[in-house]
Structure 1
Amino acid sequence: MSHILITSAGRRVSLVRAFIKELKEIDERSQVFVTDAAPKLSAAAQIAHKAFEICKIDNDNYIDALYKICLENKVEVIIPTLDTELTILSKNHEKFLAANIKIVLSDEKLIKKCRNKLKTHKLFKKLGVGTAKIYSKIKYKLPLFIKPINGSNSSNNFIIKNKNQISKYQLESNILHFFEYLDHDIYDEYTCDLYYNKTGELKCAIPRKRIEIRAGEVSKGLTKKNEVKMFLDQNFSFLKGARGCITVQLFMHKETKDIKGIEINPRFGGGFPLSYLAGGNYPKWIIQEYILNEDLNYFDDWKTDLLMLRYDDEILVNDYKG
């Protein structure tokens, strides 16, 4: 009997359901738990076997609280979901491992590179991947894209087409940086779900063409076996320190097919359900690697040209006393 815990569950209903389904195939008694700062108001918490309330990630007691939950409920594997928790979990990886609790996440060095947009650009170049230009705040070319060095969820992102749109705050902020704007009329945008085994070897790569975005998360997406797929197989076949699901954001020029890297997020992305439904069974592979100690083969038999159209659904809670 092996329990899995998904942290910061929030609205990740599809991800929790996928782990419940795949874990049930292995052992009917095993369960999927979640943690959340407000589980009564979390949709994913309503469908998990158990949901635990926990303090915010920046609270000094977060690690001890998470550790206690895992010990008391015999959790064997932890699946992190938020950028902000990756660094603190990687720093405490050995503490959990000593209690036979495995956190599926990349090395601290890689996480830090992914959290910093400028360091991510250097990593892309090392992998042979082109990047958007980084401008100084004195010399730049319009249109441009402004984003924070450590941002996530499209927070504080700005598309600037006229010079008078640039604010004093954007010019003076040390957090915000100016980047080349990659126009969607010229480039197609892809979020790619990559699965890495424990030794950083690529075992699956599924590019998802982003057709429509809402609140920083894909609402319409399409799987594609195209030049992006071949590019990933060639340039990302090994990524030092990578483990589990990694999402890589790329732009491909519609005519020249030139590819540029934008971001790397060492966690499950919000659009992962499309890759899962296309056949990329990352939850099952995590179970095989981290619970059953099995080796994985490279997997390429996923469905291309699968279109996902997301919509809002409801989870109702009876007799709620909030």
Structure 2
Amino acid sequence: MKPLREVTVLITAAGNVFMPGTTACLTKNGERKIRLIGADMNDDKTMLEMVDAYYPVPRGDDPAYIDVLLDICKKEKVEVVLPIMSVELNALAGNRDRFEAIGTKVGVSDIEALNIANDKLKLFDYLSSVEIPCAAYQAVHSMEELKKAVQALGYPEKRVCLKVTNGSGSRGFRILDASQSKFDAFMHQKPTSCFATLDEVIDILSEALYFPEMLVMEYLPGNEYTVDLLADHGKVLYNCCRKSMNMENSIMLDGIVEDNKAVKELCATVTESLGLDGNIGFDIRDREDGTPVIMECNPRITAGIPTFAAAGVNLPYLNVKRMIGEKLPICEQKYGTIVKRRWMEMYTEE
């Protein structure tokens, strides 16, 4: 079969630790050559092992970020931009017309949907208003509100979760557990452990110049899942679910691809309700009775997405095909596919 035409794709945050798997989804697609351009805050030559060219750029929330990205897209004749970081999504959505004017499509939802999905408090408020299951929560804006909220959700007898509303990944996230032994944590947990006591978190927040808006959420003891799907303005095209087998610092190290219909339907309902578009990720956890509830929505490519490519559904590449107007194939998922994450080194000269 004759290869399809070459496409130039720009991927942001190209220096992230999960980039090798993400780039493999695009470059090892089995159909065509993808000319891959990387953009990142860091000027790191090891990225040239993964991309054809890379450019240092400002932070995603820097006022100059969009102009710099537009210049790169013009120079490299980029057809598709695939964003990785939550902080850049609103700026990209708000400037979609400028990119399309130079022939570049941006893989991001409309700004109205992002304003909800990309803000954890707004997302939970929205889910509650339309009666879609999410973790029990309270918003807090001061130390006194924090103390009252954790008590209302059962602390210190129960574990409680704390999350900054505009945090990304595990930034600004802690599991409050009053039973945690500091000696046990010192001896048996890595320094990056997410567990803390309320007093420890209060000490941390006391150093801040202002109190960040945070969510206090119930701790859910059941199975944890990540769902990645591809949507076309709310219509779900592909829907993939993975159950955690081993978590470390809120990152799934080992997992298995499952056909959990309840979990997948829950994520599809949110996607359709908000009209989300492109690559979308969800974090789901079961309550004690096995009911799945939404923990988080990431309206972008997520770190775990290569797992589903290995299972037969290459979501980043399928999104590229969708965005350039190609017919999408029927994909058979290989349920039971297991992922085990391990490190990979890259080298360059000084």
Does TM-score exceed 0.5, indicating one fold? yes
1:190 corresponding residue in structure 2: 225
Counterparts of residues 211-222 of structure 1 (less than 5 Å):
211-222=245-256
* Partners of 2:169 and 2:125 in 1: CA distance: 22
Distance apart, 1:246 and its partner CA? 0.3
2:11 corresponding residue in structure 1: 6
* CA separation of 1:45 and 1:107: change in aligned 2, threshold 3 A: farther
The aligned amino acid for 2:112 is K
SS of residue matched to 2:79: strand
* Partners of 1:193 and 1:217 in 2: CA distance: 15
Distance apart, 1:233 and its partner CA? 7.2
Check if 1:31 corresponds to 2:38: no
SS of residue matched to 1:71: helix
1:84 corresponding residue in structure 2: 87
* CA separation of 1:81 and 1:233: change in aligned 2, threshold 3 A: closer
* Partners of 2:246 and 2:267 in 1: CA distance: 25
Give the one of 261, 279, 284 matched to 1:245.
279
The alignment-based identity, stated in percent, is 23
Counterparts of residues 1-322 of structure 1 (less than 5 Å):
1-10=6-15, 11=17, 12-22=19-29, 25-26=31-32, 28=33, 30-40=34-44, 43-125=46-128, 128-135=131-138, 137=146, 138-139=148-149, 140=152, 141-142=154-155, 143-162=159-178, 164=199, 167=202, 173-183=211-221, 187-197=222-232, 199-229=233-263, 231-232=265-266, 235-236=269-270, 238-253=272-287, 256-291=289-324, 293-296=325-328, 299=330, 301-317=332-348, 320-321=349-350
The aligned amino acid for 1:25 is E
Runs in 1 of length 4+ with deviation above 6 angstroms?
none
* CA separation of 1:253 and 1:170: change in aligned 2, threshold 3 A: same
Kept in 2, the 8 Å contact 1:37–1:53? The answer is yes
Kept in 2, the 8 Å contact 1:6–1:78? The answer is yes
* CA separation of 1:301 and 1:244: change in aligned 2, threshold 3 A: same
* Partners of 2:267 and 2:107 in 1: CA distance: 22
Task: Provide Cα deviations, 1:172-219, integer angstroms capped at 9, x if missing partner.
Answer: 834223211112xxx10111001102x320011111112223444321
* Partners of 2:265 and 2:257 in 1: CA distance: 15
Distance apart, 1:240 and its partner CA? 3.6
* CA separation of 1:45 and 1:123: change in aligned 2, threshold 3 A: farther
The aligned amino acid for 1:31 is R
* Partners of 1:103 and 1:215 in 2: CA distance: 31
* CA separation of 1:280 and 1:73: change in aligned 2, threshold 3 A: same
* Partners of 1:217 and 1:15 in 2: CA distance: 16
Distance apart, 1:100 and its partner CA? 1.3
